Structure 1
Amino acid sequence: MTWQPGQEITRREVLHGRLWMDHPVTVVADEGALFAIRLDPGSAFTFHDHPFGPHPWGAHSAWGGRQVLQVHRLGDRYSVWKFFEDGVFLYWYVNFEAPVVRDDAGFDTDDYGLDLIVHPDGRREWKDVEHLHVQRVQGRIDLETVGLVLEEADRVIDLLDADERWWSDFDDWEPTARRTPM
């Protein structure tokens, strides 16, 4: 099963087997095990009742002003996002999350809270480090998952250090290009 460029699918956040939030995204490229989607400003969020209460983004009705390319690879506990503002590349953003599960209509994941910003000059900045601990305390993730996320973070750093970014095919992708680099 693959999606077609330009096709609208649904990105779903699922926590402990229950849908918590979903929103539409647009397919940029799909090779099956690796796919890229575009998240556009104004993409409406739909929140669902959940035992963990309101979703952390619950105060927002839609995605904000930045356009984002999200590149996913099956099996990874992260995706790589390319942020733009007014069509200008800002930075890469490694979003640590549950491995995606695909179906015809879209995919499921869940955000672990830990993020890594990689600036155009190569400088790296960890973001929301404390969220990993908070999610464990809240019961959103367990201690084993925390360990797996930290191991994955080490692998990402190793990839960056070796300049072996599997997502580099998207280095030249721009929101206005709307082209598939694969």
Structure 2
Amino acid sequence: MDVEGDLIPSGRIALRREMLDGRPWLSYPTRVAVHDYEVTGLYLAHRTPLIFGDGPFSWGPHCWSSFEPYWMSEGVLQLQRPGEYYSLWRRTEEGAFAHWYVNFQRPLKVSSEGFDSLDLDLDLIIRPDGSYEWKDEEKFQRRVDDGHISAAEAEAVRRSGDDVLKQLADGRPWWEAWRDWEPPQDWVCG
């Protein structure tokens, strides 16, 4: 993959991988919307193929593996700042902004393929009016109780959740600068 220093130029295709047990559990191609020292933005287009890892994994098969092997929702912009335990997914419905989906995950790492992380199961939906709803709290806690997520990592995720809610309460969420972003037409799949 072409890189400029340690940055990947906008428009490049980069593989996004969920790494579990040292190998890809789920991967899919994305387009780099932005990759700088402040934020990484990856665009996952509608109907992008999803590739699930082979063999047994400590967490079992990926939950999406029982569905169509394509991203069936509208395209989504995934934003993550360096070192953060969450990304913000700009979700749309019928082409219009619908809500922010906070995906708690390991910090992104640049790899020879693109970007690696691991979804840690906890999610938060932030509606346009600023109200919010937690998702999968029990699933996240099960992963912690089973030892799949360390106590330190669980605490980092909880602090990240507090940070997101504080930004909302203060009216200063950094991700709002991306609310009206649209992908170039040639990035959008049928």
Residues 1:112 and 2:117 aligned together: no
Q: Which residue of 1 aligns with 2:158?
A: 150
d(CA) in 1 for partners of 2:109, 2:164: 21
Residues 1:20 and 2:25 aligned together: yes
2:47, 2:72 within 8 Å by CA — same for their partners in 1?
A: yes
* Gap runs ≥5 in structure 2: 1-5
1:47-126 alignment runs, 5 A limit? 47-48=52-53, 49-52=55-58, 53-60=60-67, 61-126=69-134
Deviations 1:94-124 (A, max 9, x none): 1100111113431111111111111111111
* Gap runs ≥5 in structure 1: none
User: CA offset at residue 32 of structure 1?
Assistant: 3.4
SS at match of 1:57: helix
2:13, 2:31 within 8 Å by CA — same for their partners in 1?
A: yes
Task: Give the letter for the 1:40 counterpart.
Answer: A
Task: Give the letter for the 1:58 counterpart.
Answer: S
1:2, 1:30 within 8 Å by CA — same for their partners in 2?
A: yes
d(CA) in 2 for partners of 1:38, 1:21: 16
1:20, 1:50 within 8 Å by CA — same for their partners in 2?
A: no
1:6, 1:28 within 8 Å by CA — same for their partners in 2?
A: yes
Give TM-score, length-normalised by structure 2.
Answer: 0.86
Q: Which residue of 1 aligns with 2:3?
A: none
Deviations 1:42-101 (A, max 9, x none): 111111134323112111311112211111111000001100122111101111001111
d(CA) in 1 for partners of 2:27, 2:162: 29
SS at match of 1:58: helix
Aligned length: 179
**Cα distance change of structure 1 residues 166 and 27 upon mapping to structure 2, 3 Å threshold:** same
**Cα distance change of structure 1 residues 57 and 139 upon mapping to structure 2, 3 Å threshold:** farther
Task: Give the letter for the 2:97 counterpart.
Answer: F
> What is the aligned counterpart of 2:179 among 171, 177, 182?
171
Task: Indicate the RMSD between aligned Cα atoms, in angstroms.
Answer: 2.0
Task: Give the letter for the 1:4 counterpart.
Answer: P
Task: Give the letter for the 2:15 counterpart.
Answer: T
SS at match of 1:23: strand
Residues 74-83 or 101-110, more deviating: 101-110
d(CA) in 1 for partners of 2:40, 2:62: 25
User: CA offset at residue 171 of structure 1?
Assistant: 2.1
Q: Which residue of 1 aligns with 2:45?
A: 40
Q: What percentage of residue pairs aligned between the two structures are identical?
A: 35
d(CA) in 2 for partners of 1:109, 1:140: 15
2:15, 2:114 within 8 Å by CA — same for their partners in 1?
A: yes
